[in-house]
Structure 1
Amino acid sequence: MLHDLDKTLEELLKAELPPAFVGTNATTRVSISFATPDREFASQIANAPTIDLFLYDVRENLELRSNEWVVDRQPNGTATRKRPPVRVDCSYAITIWTAGNQSDPQTEHRLLGEVMKALLRHPIIPVAVLQGSMKEQEILPRSLTLRPTQLQSLGEFWQAMGGRPKPALNYTVTIAIPVYEEAETLPLVLA
């Protein structure tokens, strides 16, 4: 499921970024990565800038937890009941990397700004970009951009990654995961 979320976010960015970044010109086209942004990652950047979406935290969204059964009444005198899916927050640190060991802050900031605008346009992930199991979501994935990070300290994060601090967007997507058995059909009691 998480790999389908990655593919969905990649499709969203490809659909929303300006053509200069996703076109066919190899000098301006960006790459999209989901790798750990450590020192080794930085040295592997090719010629084009790279948008890195590092999934650093996955946790249940307790505010959206529901223990209520979902009941769907049928016209034939029966009802289907099932437990609601578990809502899970997936938090990404989004950074921009330029080729080689030399950082290009102008390009990185410009591209980070475009990524931010693209993500802010969609508080709910559009159906058109959903990939794999994300297409089966009963509740469309919602996103939160520019919220406080789940990390204890960004400084400690970058130190653990072995690199210098970089500007980063915190982006959290809430997905619904069906973890309970299939729905059961029961007769309605009519009085």
Structure 2
Amino acid sequence: MLDVLDKTLELFLKAELPPGVPSLDTEVFISFDRPYQGAIKKKPAINFFLYDVQENLEFGSSDWLLEHQSNGKVVTKRTPPRVDCSYLITAWPQRDDDIRTEHQLLGEVMKVLLRYRTIPKHFLADKLVEEKMPLRLICLRPSKLQGFGEFRQAISGKDGNLPKVVLHCTVTIAVVIDEIGVQETLADFIHRPS
């Protein structure tokens, strides 16, 4: 599921970034590597680092959904839990000292993320196409990290620092845990023991 979300983010960003960033003859790569010096091989790049996955209790529910079928049977399924997937986004120009291009890339990504509150359906990859609820997109909010300084140190290179500006982005997805519902009549469902 997380790999499909990565693919969706890549499709979304590649389509929405304006042409000519950073130049007309340069392709911007999208990566999902750990963001430290030397890890990002193809540059210039926008890197999405998935650093946190948590159940979203705001949308969470243990309710059952009833689907009535034409043959009189009822298919019951649990409401899929919603999960917040949080990313750190960094920009990696071809030259490490090219701060202007780094800021240009981040600025364009920021505009794309602020333009949308959900990821448009036509960018959803594979099984996410079947999502009934939109993929909520929240960006530029405080990180959910407790000790961000310790985290930066943990993912940095040998020199111990990560001199990168980061954007925060959280996408909320549903995780289907019941692939096949239980078939029963409505009467069976009503009289099912709790």
Q: TM-score range by the shorter chain?
A: 0.7 to 0.9
Cα 1:181–1:164, aligned 2, differ >3 Å: closer, same or farther?
Answer: closer
Q: Contact between 2:81 and 2:176, CA under 8 Å: does it hold in 1?
A: yes
Q: Contact between 1:83 and 1:180, CA under 8 Å: does it hold in 2?
A: yes
Tell me, what secondary structure is at the counterpart of 1:63? coil
Q: Contact between 1:57 and 1:90, CA under 8 Å: does it hold in 2?
A: yes
Corresponding letter in the other structure for 2:35? P
TM-score, structure 2 length as denominator?
A: 0.84
Q: Does 1:184 align with 2:182?
A: yes
Identity %: 48
> Match of 1:106?
100
Where structure 1 has 5 or more consecutive residues not aligned to the other structure, the ranges are none
Residues 113-163 of structure 1: per-residue CA shift (max 9 Å, x gap): 110111122211111111112112232211111121121233222222223
Cα 1:72–1:142, aligned 2, differ >3 Å: closer, same or farther?
Answer: same
User: How far 1:60 moved relative to its partner?
Assistant: 1.1
Q: Where does 1:1-150 land on structure 2 (aligned, <5 Å)? A: 1-21=1-21, 25-26=25-26, 29-41=27-39, 44=41, 46=42, 48-74=43-69, 77-100=72-95, 102-150=96-144
Tell me, what secondary structure is at the counterpart of 2:3? helix
Tell me the matched-pair count. Answer: 183
Q: Contact between 1:14 and 1:22, CA under 8 Å: does it hold in 2?
A: no
TM-score, structure 1 length as denominator?
A: 0.85
Measure, in 1, the Cα distance between the counterparts of 2:64 and 2:7: 31
* Cα root mean square deviation, aligned: 2.1
Corresponding letter in the other structure for 1:179? I
Corresponding letter in the other structure for 2:132? E
Q: Contact between 2:22 and 2:105, CA under 8 Å: does it hold in 1?
A: no
Measure, in 2, the Cα distance between the counterparts of 1:182 and 1:54: 32
Measure, in 2, the Cα distance between the counterparts of 1:23 and 1:188: 61
> Match of 2:168?
170
Cα 1:23–1:111, aligned 2, differ >3 Å: closer, same or farther?
Answer: closer
Residues 42-90 of structure 1: per-residue CA shift (max 9 Å, x gap): 5x4x5x4210000111111122110111123456654332111111111
Where structure 2 has 5 or more consecutive residues not aligned to the other structure, the ranges are 188-194
